[in-house]
Amino acid sequence: METTRRRFLKTGLLAAALLAAGGGWYRHTHPAPAHGFALDGEARAALDAIVPAILAGTLPDAPADRTHALAATTDRVHQAILGLPLSAQQEVQDLFGLLAIGPARRLLTGLPDGWAGAREADVAAFLQAWRVHRLALLRTAYAALHDLVLGGWYSDPAHWDAIGYPGPIKELA
């Protein structure tokens, strides 16, 4: 599927320069937490917007169940990040730090307003654009989100029934 080329992603070189500069600025102003990855504010809102777009098709319909499933998955994503080497935690931190900066968000994702109000379809559209983007940096950012969120979801025994996976032999598990 060829994604509609969006103006925000045509500015490849500018985006790359901004990624580098923005990442550096963010790292300078937000020194890494002593105990690894931590998210707050807009960075947290970015993850909260990205998780449901990746999990579309798996989430329960009832609002309360959906909210609960999303919170549990976000927590598992967080735990997975905290298990990565510190340098990898820093890379993920930088990505979310960058996405928390308004101009960077607009340039890299095309989302005009803050993360809290982002429409799922728009989030899915930028993820799809990143997935096959000519900038390797965005492809790898997509791949990291893909693995973290889907890994977080399917590592949870609560989601095994839906895919017909019985789980390991009960006597030994």
Partner 1 sequence: MSNEAVIPDPIRAGLARGWKVIDGAQVDADRDLSADVVIVGSGAGGGVTAEILALSGLSVIVVEEGALKSSRDFKMREAEAYPALYQESAARKTRDKAINILQGRTVGGSTTVNWTSSFRTPPTTLAFWQQRFGLSTYGEADLAPWFELMEARLHVADWAGAPNENNDLLRRGAAKLGIPTGLIRRNVNGCWNLGYCGMGCPTNAKQSMLVTTIPSALDHGATLVTRARAERLVLNGDKADGIDCTLLDAAGLHPTGRRLRIRARHVVLAGGAINTPALLLRSKAPDPGGQLGKRTFLHPTLVSAALFPQRVDGYAGAPQTVYSDHFLHTQPIDGPLGFKLEAPPLHPVLLATTMQGFGEEHAAMMRQFPHIQGMLALLRDGFHAESQGGTVGLTNDGAPVLDYPLNDPVWDGARRALLTMAEIQFAAGATGVQVAHERAPRYASWTEAQKGIAALPFEPQLTRVVSAHVMGGCAMAGAGHDGVTGPDGRYRGLANVSVHDGSLFPTSIGANPQLSIYGITARLASDLAQALTGRPAARPQA
Which residues in 39-67 are b (16+ Cβ under 10 Å) and which e? beebbbbbbbbbbbbbbeeebeeeeeeee
What is the spatial distance between Cα 170 and Cα 173, in angstroms, rounded to a whole number?
5
Minimum distance of partner 1 from residue 145's CB (angstroms):
8
| Residue number, 61 or 171, with CB nearest to partner 1 | 171
Minimum distance of partner 1 from residue 43's CB (angstroms):
20
Residues that bind partner 1 (CB under 8 A): 1, 35-36, 53-58, 76, 80, 83-88, 124, 127, 131-132, 136, 139-140, 143-144, 146-147, 149-151, 153-157, 159-160, 162-165, 168-169, 171-173
| Residue number, 103 or 164, with CB nearest to partner 1 | 164
| Residue number, 102 or 162, with CB nearest to partner 1 | 162
Distances in Å between the Cα of 62 and the Cα atoms of 65, 144, 159, 161 are: 5, 29, 16, 18
| Residue number, 2 or 41, with CB nearest to partner 1 | 2
Q: Is 91 exposed, middle or buried (0-12, 13-18, 19+ CB in 10 A)?
A: middle
Minimum distance of partner 1 from residue 116's CB (angstroms):
20
Rg, Å, the chain Cα set: 17
